[in-house]
């Protein structure tokens, strides 16, 4: 019996992948439409990227105690307030999480952002292992439901912060 890979290679030789019958190029106007959309969207991505970088840099600086938080005390003669020792400084992320505006911060109150099907999945993943979470997310990504996959990835990172 012939080796399966060898047999496939022989068959592929008869119908090479470069066969004219199955190669079809895109029309120029379609290329223009897609590439112009990409160009129009790039500035938004650049702004988002810069914002994320700035947030990360600020968080790092606050965590390291390299910069000062603005003081609430009135300044005397325009001088800056006292430096807060790093050990007394709550990290940016901790203070963000403990902000009192629960109506905005609490996931329970952000119902509009929970994608369809998420609740059932979370129930089925309640006691699931880490790998099961990853497999589920990977399957959803392959199915193209980015919104649901993003939501589950955020929940995954909360559940397995060191994963």
Q: Which is nearer to other proteins, 39 or 112 (CB)?
A: 39
Q: Which is nearer to other proteins, 44 or 80 (CB)?
A: 44
Residues 32-51 that bind other proteins (CB under 8 A): 33-35, 37-39, 41-43, 45-50
The reply on whether position 24 binds other proteins by CB under 8 A is yes
Least CB distance from residue 130 to other proteins, whole Å? 9
What does the alpha-carbon distance between residue 61 and residue 92 come to, in Å, rounded to a whole number?
A: 9
Least CB distance from residue 161 to other proteins, whole Å? 13
Q: Which residues contact 147 (CB under 8 A, 6 or more apart)?
A: 115
The binding site for other proteins (CB under 8 A) comprises 4-5, 7-8, 11-12, 14-27, 30-31, 33-35, 37-39, 41-43, 45-50, 134, 137-139, 141-144, 146-147, 149-150, 153, 163
């Amino acid at each position: 019996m012939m080796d399966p890979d060898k047999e496939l290679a022989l068959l592929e030789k008869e119908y090479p992948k470069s066969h004219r019958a199955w190669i079809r190029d895109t029309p120029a106007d379609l290329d223009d439409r897609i590439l112009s959309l990409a160009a129009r969207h790039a500035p938004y991505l650049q702004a988002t990227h810069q914002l994320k970088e700035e947030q990360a840099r600020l968080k790092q600086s606050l965590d390291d105690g390299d910069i000062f938080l603005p003081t609430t005390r009135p300044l005397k003669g325009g001088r800056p307030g006292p430096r807060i020792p790093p050990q007394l400084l709550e990290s940016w992320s901790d203070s963000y999480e403990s902000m009192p505006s629960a109506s905005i911060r609490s996931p329970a109150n952000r119902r509009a952002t929970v994608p369809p099907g998420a609740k059932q999945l979370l129930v089925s993943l309640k006691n699931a292992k880490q790998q099961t979470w990853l497999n589920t997310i990977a399957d959803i990504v392959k199915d193209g439901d980015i919104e649901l996959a993003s939501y589950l990835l955020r929940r995954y990172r909360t559940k397995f912060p060191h994963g």
